[in-house]
Chains A and B, each alone.
Chain A
Amino acid sequence: MKHRLGVNILSIVTFALLWEIAGRMMDTTLIPPLSKIASAWLRLLMNGKLLENLAMSLWTLAAGFLLAVALGVIIGVLMGRFSQVEHFLDLYINALMSAPMTAFVPLLIMWFGLGVQSRIAVVFLFAFFVIVINTMTGVKQVDRIFVEMARSFGAKELEVFFKVVLPAAMPAIMAGVSIGMGRAVKGMVTAEMLLTLTGVGGMIMQYGSAFATDALFAVILTILMVAMIAMQLVKIVDRRLTGWKAEIAIE
């Protein structure tokens, strides 16, 4: 673990150095040296522009993502438990799972307008389907012997579900939530770039069209950091809920 952290740091330092050198050597606005990006980042941080836009983006992300988790898990559970529900829905879920969600943006604008609701809807759509499919698969793959054991000791349907099926499916559900988080960040930026130019996505469009590459890179790096922190948060929740699984995998 320690060893790995060292390699990670070495990788970042090497990459940053190469970037800095390349930026200085090329002497063009297309690839600004890292130091210039850092100063642009500080400037945006100081004048409050970055935080203001970031706050707006994160609100969209949180709302859309949490909605996707809540509804995705509920629908996934229903599909996993009841084959009629699965057969009724799986055609649409599977089709939409790999459909390019950006295609729905014009439709969402017509439905929800250009406000925050539309952006939340985009985030939701990006994250929702993968959570549904993973939850459904997880619920379906619960070992029958556990269910049988619980019934044998007198468990009612709801007890079987909450004490056996849900915890057994939790690793698969959390895998879906984790992938969904990554997709939600993509959805957030996409929505801000394609709908109204707000949030960090809006900043990208603005600096892009102004050829302000240093500020542009500063925003992109910020988004990457947000994505990494978001994934880390999911990982922490995952470890709390399914720590037992990780331990089994190690052995």
Chain B
Amino acid sequence: MVEIQGISKSFQKTVKDNTAEIKALTEVSLSVRENEFISIIGPSGCGKTTLLKIIDGLIPHDSGQILINGKRISGPGPDRAVVFQTFALLPWRTVLANVEFSLELRRVSKEERTSIARDYLKRVGLEEFEHHYPHELSGGMQQRAGLARALAVNPTILLMDEPFGSVDAQTRQLLQEELLELWQRERKTVIFITHSMDEAVYLADRVVVMTPRPGRVAEILDVPLPRPRIPDVVRRDPKFVELTNYIWDSLKKAMENHH
């Protein structure tokens, strides 16, 4: 269980000798249940990515606290792994060596990490590409490798930062389906950042709508759609349409209040 309690965060931004304080997040609170799939949606600049980095322990926050299973976090930990929007695969490593990277840092022995990495490459359908370099793969395949790298350390919480934001629409749908399948099998807590309403609703158990800067939680919505979710069925479900429309209105309202 992840408890996000009253997180606030400001940045100092310097433009031509003028230092301004920019409030990125104010009093963000949210409880994520074990094995729950949460989507966080909001306009760009609402601090979604900042929130994710704070949950990962990569950057400090000004006030509030993050508890994981009741324990306060103070930095990155083996219980969490991130999937990055730009994949962040090391270009000088093969796909296999990239997946091994996360295990290398955890001091897993050479043979063991190769066999674990191979196993996860297989699960994301990349077993035939282990000796390729990232630039030889399509965006979708690169993100599968990024996902394999995150899963390889067997985290309980998967933090995904607009992971499918830089692939084409068709690949995106495919990756969404694959992610749900994986999640159904592996049972992880997923916190998924997106700016696509369709994606947020299709994937998640609950959708968190955030306001423009400074980011706050505007609403938390339950997604009343049965699982497993079959894309064509789900997207035609009146409840799906209703919910995406509702989120659209909610976002619009939040934007208007902001201006």
Q: What residues make up the interface of A, taking CB atoms closer than 8 Å to B? A: 145-146, 148-155, 159, 163-164, 167-168, 170, 242, 244-245, 247-248, 251
Contact = CB atoms under 8 A, between A and B. Distances in A.
Interface stretch (B36-44, B75-83, B164-172, B203-211): B75-83
Interface stretch (B17-25, B27-35, B84-92, B112-120): B84-92
B153 A153 contact: yes
19 contacts: A145-B86, A146-B90, A149-B82, A151-B76, A152-B58, A153-B102, A153-B106, A153-B149, A154-B77, A154-B78, A154-B105, A155-B105, A159-B105, A164-B90, A167-B92, A168-B90, A168-B92, A244-B92, A245-B91
Given A152-B81, A153-B105, A154-B105, A146 B88 contact: yes
B101 interface: yes
B58 A151 contact: yes
B105 A150 contact: yes
A170 B90 CA distance: 13
A215 to B, nearest CB: 48
A7 B56 CA distance: 57
Contacts of B106: 153-154
B92 A247 contact: no
Contacts of B91: 244-245, 248
Given A146-B90, A152-B56, A153-B105, 16 more contacts: A148-B53, A149-B84, A149-B88, A150-B101, A152-B81, A153-B76, A153-B102, A153-B106, A154-B76, A163-B105, A242-B92, A244-B92, A244-B133, A247-B133, A248-B91, A248-B133
A207 to B, nearest CB: 48
A86 B133 CA distance: 34
A148 B57 CA distance: 11
A242 B133 CA distance: 13
B6 to A, nearest CB: 23
B71 interface: no
Minimum-distance CB pairs A-B, first 9:
A149-B88, A244-B92, A153-B102, A145-B88, A152-B82, A248-B135, A153-B105, A154-B105, A167-B92
Looking at chain A's contact residues, the main secondary structure is helix
A242 B91 CA distance: 10
A167 B90 contact: yes
Contacts of B78: 154
Nearest to B78: A154
Contacts of B84: 145, 148-149
A163 B104 contact: yes
Contacts of B153: 153
A159 B101 CA distance: 11
Contact of A148 (B58, B77, B104, B149): B58
B101 A153 contact: yes
A251 to B, nearest CB: 6
Contacts of B86: 145
Contacts of A242: 92
A81 B76 CA distance: 22
B156 to A, nearest CB: 15
A194 B199 CA distance: 72
Contacts of A151: 58, 76
Nearest to A149: B88
Contact of B76 (A145, A152, A163, A248): A152
Given A149-B84, A164-B90, A251 B135 contact: yes
A154 B56 CA distance: 11
A163 B101 contact: yes
Nearest to A147: B88
A167 B84 CA distance: 20
A153 B135 contact: no
Contacts of B90: 146, 164, 167-168
A247 B102 contact: no
Nearest to A251: B135
B138 to A, nearest CB: 13
Nearest to A248: B135
B56 A247 contact: no
A145 B88 CA distance: 6
A152 B105 CA distance: 10
A146 B90 CA distance: 7
A57 B228 CA distance: 75
